Amino acid sequence: MYWYEKEGGVFSSVISTRVRFARNAEGIPFPHLQTDEQRKAFWKKAVEAFAPYGGKAVSFDDMDPLEKSAYVETRLASPALAKARVGAGLILSPEGEVSVMVGEEDHLRIQAILPGKAIAEAFQAATAWSEKGKTLNYAYRKGLGYLTSCPTNLGAGCRISVMIHLPALHSAGAMNALTQNLNNLGFTVRGIFGEGSREAGGIYQISNQLSREKTPEEICEVFERVLADVEEREREAARVLYEKNREDWEDRICRAVGTVKYARKISYGEFVSLYALIRFGKALGLEEARSIPLTDRLLVELMPAPMILTNTENRDEKRRDLARAETLRLLTR
């Protein structure tokens, strides 16, 4: 069961949490410097290293581009991994919460993704699988830490990120100031799908930038504090917005509820906007929004590639928009 198929439990601004470790094998060139034969050889070594723990190997060599897109859209793989020429793929944990990217920017990108705000739990899962791969002899230097392809990952090689819904701060025009403040603290704010993407429906990704000066545990501790502050700012912004424009927000949210319940055709972009409004309504406590059983997993399941893999007829965009609307109508009956 992958991360998006699980429920996060307590409602939170945080949609999902990811903890990722970058690791490289000693004495082997970084992936971008490897020959095709070296890349293939390391893929084989990685598969053998994680096999005793139930790791499921998914080679990207000769994989259909659509299937690669599905792994990217579900965040189990990165766009860079999908573009790798040979010797690249995923090793998935039996529980589905950990995916090890092999042959991306680093030899290994070990990431754990969980629904909701779950930094400690994701850190524990990623750490456990990093330990399982130690037979690959990770490159490490005293005073530098784990050696990585990109200098910003040098040290702990630990990157934490959350997908977070900040509709009030977004609507209040406060995101530029928040982004600058977080940048000064060593964090970065990106769009819904990470680097190079834009926000959608007030959904962003926040992650730490550097891991050189701190241990992974210290990075988690700082991230927890910063995230708590961002959530408090969102709650206060929501309170102010709702008090000032209660009728306008209720109208927008209820219109979104009506569209989801009765529309016959919905694009993915429109769905994200509708979903964000209804999710905001849930946070505000509106009964009309709370009565709609939309879950965060739909952000993934209703993306183009996963829909096409579920039903090949959905290759046609119009057919996909019809199917997406039908799925939502059935959920809201």
Give Cα 38 to chain centroid, integer Å: 30
Could you give the CA distance from residue 138 to residue 134 in angstroms, rounded to a whole number? 6
- A 10 A CB-CB count for 273 gives 17
For residues 8-23, one letter each, b for 16 or more C-beta atoms within 10 angstroms of the residue's C-beta and e for the rest, the string is beeebbbbbbbbbbbb
Query: To which residue do tokens 């996963």 refer?
Result: 306
Q: What is the largest CA-CA distance in the chain?
A: 64
Could you give the CA distance from residue 8 to residue 76 in angstroms, rounded to a whole number? 18
pLDDT tens per residue, the chain (333 residues)? Answer: 554 455 554 567 999 999 999 999 999 999 999 999 999 999 999 999 999 999 999 999 999 999 999 999 888 999 999 999 899 999 999 988 999 999 999 999 999 999 999 999 999 999 999 999 999 999 999 989 999 998 888 889 999 999 999 999 999 999 999 999 999 999 999 987 666 567 678 999 999 987 777 888 999 999 999 999 999 999 999 999 999 999 999 999 999 999 999 999 999 999 999 999 999 999 899 999 998 888 888 998 999 999 999 999 999 999 999 999 999 999 988
pTM (predicted TM-score): 0.90
Which whole-number Å values give the CA distances from 102 to 23, 29, 38, 60, 153, in the listed order?
10, 14, 13, 10, 16
Could you give the CA distance from residue 153 to residue 2 in angstroms, rounded to a whole number? 26
Query: To which residue do tokens 């439990």 refer?
Result: 9
